[in-house]
Amino acid sequence: MQQSADSRRNVRARLPVHYAWIVTAITSLVMLASAGVRAAPSVLIKPLEADFGWSRSNISFAVAVSILWFGLGGPISGSLVDRYGPRRIMMIGLALIAAGIFGTLGINELWQFHLAWGMVVGIGTGALANVLGAAIALRWFRKHRGLVVGIFGAASAAGQLIFLPSLMSLTATSGWRTALTVAAAFVAALLVPLLLLMRDRPEDIGTRALGDDGAAASAASAGAELAQRTPLREALRTRDFWLLAGSFFVCGYTTNGLIGTHLLPHALEHGFTTDAAAGAVGMMGMMNIIGTLASGWLSDRYDNRVLLAAYYGFRALAIAQLPFIGDANANGLLFFALMYGLDWIATVPPTINLTATRFGRGSVGTLYGWIFFSHMVGASVAAYLGGYLHDMLGDYTAAFLSAALLGVIAAGFSISIQRGRRLETAPAA
């Protein structure tokens, strides 16, 4: 026991930074890879149409199934992290993603795509989404939590920025199977640093959360913070839970579901080259990193309800112009990417903070997990509806305008959430 304690002290002594930042770096890499894989269907739609003759709505339905499983991975991950720790869940998530991608490489029938990509990749990426990031920020940080959640959001944006142009290029030169093989290899390689460096909690290496000075008052505050918990059954009876879930439904509809799945096919069908579309995606990802980091910083300092309302309103304005960007208007597409990219994932830090403030930090894993599921239900609806409306009407205009309208509604939901009022909290189990 003494040797183990000495070993932990030696590890801490050799590190130039708090170990929480190493955990943050590993988690960011894992979330980057997961988000990159999650965005791949937008690259796959047209090659799958060409290879198998499947309709846009059929492929979109498979993507919707995947998004729904992705959403279910959130609350499942939140509860399992509390029981088994984030390290095991991250390992399982990466293994499922790699297995699902390799399964997709051998598909010949639509149901196989549903199973391999829809279910296996969906659950794996869902386990590694921002519900996991929220739990890790809560375990390892007593301060800078909003910033850390913003970093995780920026990592997800970087996954889009790095993976999508790379997947598009590989698909164009070597085929979609080669592109997915490279993605699977990258995901599997992350198991190595995860096994060597990831730790579940500060106590595993004999340290404290960053910002915890070890004083009795600090320990009492941390314990009280974790004891602030609202059971799911009670939260479901409140208006604020449904306002948060409703606004996050719209967030999913207007991001992963519609833009994440259908922006690239829309751009290619309107005369843009693959390089121009990839450039717009890159711009969107770059601005997403900036916007998400800024949102994390802002959410530690300003009214999160106002921030959310502004983000959704700004997003509605950006999407409303998208149907009118065509005929290879490269400047218009880049301007959309700049505007829209600033708040792609910017909604995550204030939504997590509002959940914690309204229902207690001890409830974040469970309640935010189900709010995140609402996000992915919205994304699933939009992924299928976008393809269906495209098949029915010949373009995405109706789908994009519906997203703009919902963005305005979500802004109203956000500003209506009560500020800083909690239910009676139950002791942590």
pLDDT in tens, 336-358: 888 888 887 788 889 988 988 88
List residues bridging with 124 in a β-sheet: none
For residues 83 and 86, give the distance between their C-alpha atoms in angstroms, rounded to a whole number. 9
Confidence of residue 326 (pLDDT cuts 50, 70, 90): low
Is it the case that residue 127 has pLDDT exceeding 90?
A: no
For residues 299 and 169, give the distance between their C-alpha atoms in angstroms, rounded to a whole number. 37
Residue 429 falls within a domain, yes or no?
A: no
Residue 203 neighbours by CB distance under 10 Å: 12
Residue 306 has what pLDDT?
Answer: 93
Is it the case that residue 275 has pLDDT exceeding 80?
A: no
Total structural domains within the chain: 1
Q: By residue range, what is the domain housing residue 133? A: 16-207+232-415
**pLDDT tens for each residue of 143-171:** 777 778 778 877 877 777 778 778 888 88
Q: Does the model's pTM come out above 0.75?
A: no
User: What average pLDDT score do residues 40-63 get?
Assistant: 83
Residue 214 has what pLDDT?
Answer: 65
Residue 225 falls within a domain, yes or no?
A: no
Residue 215 has what pLDDT?
Answer: 58
Answer for the pair 30, 194: CB distance below 8 angstroms, yes or no: yes
Residue 188 falls within a domain, yes or no?
A: yes
Residue 109 falls within a domain, yes or no?
A: yes
User: What average pLDDT score do residues 12-38 get?
Assistant: 83
For residues 409 and 389, give the distance between their C-alpha atoms in angstroms, rounded to a whole number. 21
Mean predicted lDDT score pLDDT of the chain: 82
Residue 46 falls within a domain, yes or no?
A: yes
Residue 221 falls within a domain, yes or no?
A: no
Residue 425 has what pLDDT?
Answer: 43
Three-state SS at 223: helix
**pLDDT tens for each residue of 199-219:** 888 888 888 888 776 654 445
Domain CATH code at residue 139: 1.20.1250.20
- Nearest-CA neighbor of 415 among 314, 308, 313? 308
Residue 411 has what pLDDT?
Answer: 94
**pLDDT tens for each residue of 289-299:** 788 788 878 88
Residue 218 falls within a domain, yes or no?
A: no
Tell me the H-state helices in 232-368: 232-235, 239-252, 259-269, 274-299, 304-320, 330-341, 348-359
Residue with the larger pLDDT of the pair 360 and 303: 303
| CA 110 to chain CA centroid, nearest Å | 26
Residue 216 falls within a domain, yes or no?
A: no
Is it the case that residue 123 has pLDDT exceeding 70?
A: yes
